[in-house]
Structure 1
Amino acid sequence: MAGEEREEAILAATLELLAEVGYDRMRMDAVAERARASKATIYRRWPGKAELVVTAIERHTAAAMDDRADPGNLRDDLLGRMRAMRDGLTGQDAGLLLGLLTAMHHDAELAAIVRARMIDDKRRAFDPAIDRAIDRGELPKGLDRAMLAEVSSAMLFSRAFVTGEPLDDAFLTDLVDRVLLPLVQHRAGDA
């Protein structure tokens, strides 16, 4: 198996085991066995379980957000990004995310890595949409993007894990039209 194929097998095995047994019960030897790789191969690339798990989740969520065609306007671009985030939360990712959040409460190393890497990735999820809107002249350069990611993530998380209310297209459309677009347009006025 080539290096890239081996890495993909290791990351896939990591996600599968996380979904099956959770972070706390996942063992590196089980990842190695499932990926048909040695533990030495895994440890050459990732110094520990926390780094491996974060890399696997980052790669998985990045794949869902990448390669989205430009719909031609900010509103539709935001809707597409929100649908991708929603689909991740309502699919297998929900269990992974909840397990990760639970593990972060008692694993300081994992919490530090997640905060250092994944939170920035989440904030960058909207960069392609914002960049295209700037290129089209819909938004000014220098726009503060952090609030967009925070608000959108919080709203999705609340519905998915707290209130249990639907995360349907009607909600996403309302969220984009009544919250996210006004937020970005207001923040654009501050830029």
Structure 2
Amino acid sequence: MEAGPKLDPDREQAILGATLELLAEGGYDALRLDAVATRAKASKATLYRHWPGKADLVVAAIKCFEQADLSRNTDTGSLRGDLIATLRGVRELMTGPTGQIMSGLLVAVQKDAELAEAVRTSMLEDKEQVTQRMLDRAVARGELPADTDPTIFPEIAPALLFMRIFVYGSAVDDGYLDHLTDDILIPLMARRFGD
């Protein structure tokens, strides 16, 4: 998505860090590229050269500073282990500073088509690839049927964690992650289409 020569890593970190700081302070609607440029001690032209718009910059900032690198290949040797490891990463993300920003972005996504498109085509595609790799490994090990619905994990797990953390204000301890994995996710994923 970057359109110009590669930015110096320190300069990029300054810009993306300033973006997150301003998001945390005022939310997506109030975020202005000139304010990001001022805080990062960069020119507005530099921002536009590397990120075509505000939505692209915000997505890049969130992806860069996610506390849990959910795009890494977490292969624990079992489906259950992979699910627990991934859920722990999602928990860390949602309960950290980036989680607060992302919860605020949910409102903005409903009102801003450009942001919604950037989130769908960038951040969600990354998560779908992680899920598909996890499913492919489980199918190869014989833990899941080949026709396992690939939408179960990305639709159910984040939704339940989001509700528990942001709506109910309840803790998401390892016991809850075990319950989510053993009693909900694995049984649903192990079902064959049409059962």
For the criterion TM > 0.5, the same-fold answer is: yes
The answer on whether the counterparts of 1:28 and 1:39 sit within 8 Å (CA) in structure 2 is yes
1:157 shift after superposition: 1.0
One-letter amino acid of the structure 2 residue matched with residue 123 of structure 1: E
1:56 aligns with 2:61: yes
CA offset digits 1:115-154 (Å, max 9, x no partner): 3433333333423322322333323445331122101111
Structure 1, 153-162 or 25-34: larger mean CA deviation: 25-34
1:17 shift after superposition: 1.8
Unaligned runs of 5+ in 2: 1-5
1:190 aligns with 2:193: yes
Structure 1, 91-100 or 60-69: larger mean CA deviation: 60-69
One-letter amino acid of the structure 2 residue matched with residue 144 of structure 1: D
> Could you say which residue in structure 2 is the equivalent of 1:129?
134
Unaligned runs of 5+ in 1: none
After TM superposition, the structure 1 = structure 2 runs for residues 52-131 of structure 1, keeping only pairs within 5 Å, are 52-61=57-66, 64-67=69-72, 69-131=74-136
User: Normalising by the residue count of structure 1, what TM-score does the alignment of the two structures yield?
Assistant: 0.85
1:68 shift after superposition: 5.2
**Count of aligned residue pairs for this structure pair:** 188
CA-based RMSD of the aligned residues comes to 2.3
CA distance in 2, matches of 1:67, 1:114: 19
Q: Please state which structure has a larger fraction of its residues in helix.
A: 1
Distance change in 2, residues 1:172/1:23 (3 Å)? same
SS in structure 1 of the partner of residue 37 of structure 2: helix
User: Normalising by the residue count of structure 2, what TM-score does the alignment of the two structures yield?
Assistant: 0.84
Q: 2:185 aligns with which of 155, 180, 185?
A: 180
One-letter amino acid of the structure 1 residue matched with residue 63 of structure 2: E
CA distance in 2, matches of 1:3, 1:107: 27
CA distance in 2, matches of 1:58, 1:183: 29
1:15 aligns with 2:20: yes
Distance change in 2, residues 1:49/1:68 (3 Å)? same
The answer on whether the counterparts of 1:54 and 1:113 sit within 8 Å (CA) in structure 2 is yes
CA distance in 2, matches of 1:128, 1:49: 31
The answer on whether the counterparts of 1:65 and 1:81 sit within 8 Å (CA) in structure 2 is yes
CA distance in 2, matches of 1:62, 1:125: 16
1:172 shift after superposition: 0.7
